[in-house]
Amino acid sequence: MLKVVLVPINKAGWPFIAIFAALGIFLGWLSLPLGFVGLVLTAWCTYFFRDPQRTTPTREGLIISPADGVVQMIDKAAPPEELEMGTEERIRIAVFMNVFNVHVNRVPISGTISKVAYRPGKFLNASLDKASEFNERMSLKVTTKDQVDVGFVQIAGLVARRILCYASEGDTYQAGQRFGLIRFGSRVDIYLPDGVEPMVSVGQLAVAGESVIADMQTKETARSGEVR
């Protein structure tokens, strides 16, 4: 139980936690009720930046969710042009993170980061389809040892004003390793290789570093789901 409650905090969160804590102390000095509000906000900020360990499936060919959240959309779209993956449409899976999800993002498949490109933009609601085109984003491409490309894109949202990406071109990552985060609430899009079908359905909850969203070694058709 303690491992569930007392999870590690991402290093990017400590400055914000300190600011919230200082504000809480100041509010508490003004009045006890305001101090309680400050305590709640500090607790929420600490909760937001939690960074739990994840157990990642390690079989080759598995594509793992890069983000916690709801599978908001599965459609076909051309990858961002800055990824240099061509103009042909690929299956795109969008995972939407609300302000209560873990916001640490993870690499979806083992390989070498072959492209990292930042593009400034707007801060539309990340749940909108046009957010993938107009919002601020950080686009990455990982190339596996078999020379298969998988694109994934951090997209800023309505309240997300900062994308953090620690990956650089030429870096080698294992599936499930942390590569960045987004403050505060947003989405991550994944562009699957040609011929690979999704193994998740819209509305399903995905767990970064754990949930298998596609399998390049299976011939299984796209899965469907229903609310029960």
Q: What is the pLDDT of residue 129?
A: 63
What is d(CA 141, CA 152) in angstroms, rounded to the nearest whole number? 6
Report whether the peptide linkage leading into residue 184 is cis, meaning its omega lies within 30 degrees of zero. Answer: yes
Q: List, in sequence order, the alpha helices (H) in 82-228.
A: 131-134
Mean pLDDT rounded to a whole number for the chain = 86
The amino acid occupying position 167 is: A
E-strand ranges in the chain read: 62-64, 69-77, 90-97, 104-106, 111-119, 137-143, 149-155, 162-165, 172-173, 178-183, 186-191, 205-206, 212-215
Please state, in angstroms and rounded to a whole number, the distance separating the CA atoms of residues 154 and 105.
9
Residue whose entry in the numeric block shows the structure tokens 């076909």: 76
Residue reference for tokens 């600011």: 19
- Of 92 and 121, more confident: 92
Neighbours of 92 (CB within 10 A): 21
- Confidence band, pLDDT 50/70/90 cuts, at residue 16: confident
Give me the domains of the chain, ranges plus CATH numbers.
2-48 (no CATH), 62-215 (2.70.70)
The pLDDT of residue 117: 93
List Cβ neighbours of 18 (8 Å cut-off, separation of 6 or more): none
pTM attached to this predicted model? 0.85
Q: Which residues are catalytic?
A: 186
Contact 145, 67 (CB under 8 A): no
pLDDT in tens, 30-73: 888 888 888 888 887 787 788 889 999 989 899 999 999 999 99
